[in-house]
Structure 1
Amino acid sequence: MRSDMGFIDDVKRWLGREAADAKEWVDASVERGHDELDQAERRLSDDPSTRMAALQDDIAANDQAFDSLRDKADAALARPQADADLVEDGVEETASVEAQEGRDQPGGP
């Protein structure tokens, strides 16, 4: 009977820790929500030129994120496009490093 109570006490402690973590997360989420709402209310009360400047800042920040993603996508597409360009120009295609090492083959290293 004593071992059952020890297990139950362990479960209660674990549930207490999980509840505290959940409460902390909820409190932080509510705080972020309040901060975002306050910021939105401030923007509504700003004069048009200030709102336009803030909007341009937001656009610039998003542009940087999209530019980063576009650069990654362009880099990933550059190698296949370069290989295709060589084949179109009549240059014989050579095996890639991955193929030479057997990495692109099923059962390769």
Structure 2
Amino acid sequence: MESNIHILSINTIKDIETELSSIGVSSRGIDIMKEKLIFLVLKLENVDTRAANIIKQTMLSNGAEAAVSAATVNLSVSHTDVIIGATIKQLRQAIQRLQEQPWGLKEIAKKIEELVD
């Protein structure tokens, strides 16, 4: 018997719960894995460069990624857009850290949390 492989388009927790359940994953297994299996790409616009540097460091420390303007590292621009790629679990971990930071990061963390929820 030949195996088939295809890409799943998963956008919500409900989607992944349904897929995991359909292959017989236990409810405990679903709870453990569901936030690790949804990958999101977020774009944050007009972020203070100092905050963008913290976002990048925070995402990298959680195994996620964040792209910022090349001029961010030396603060030669005041603001930049940020593109984040992360699982829901990684975003939740980052939210906790970002809530403790200055330069508008509490508000950014709140907006990310609203999107994730």
TM-score range, shorter chain: under 0.3
Higher relative contact order (CA 8 A, sep 6+): 2
Structure with the larger strand share = 2
TM-score, structure 1 normalization: 0.24
Larger Rg belongs to? 1
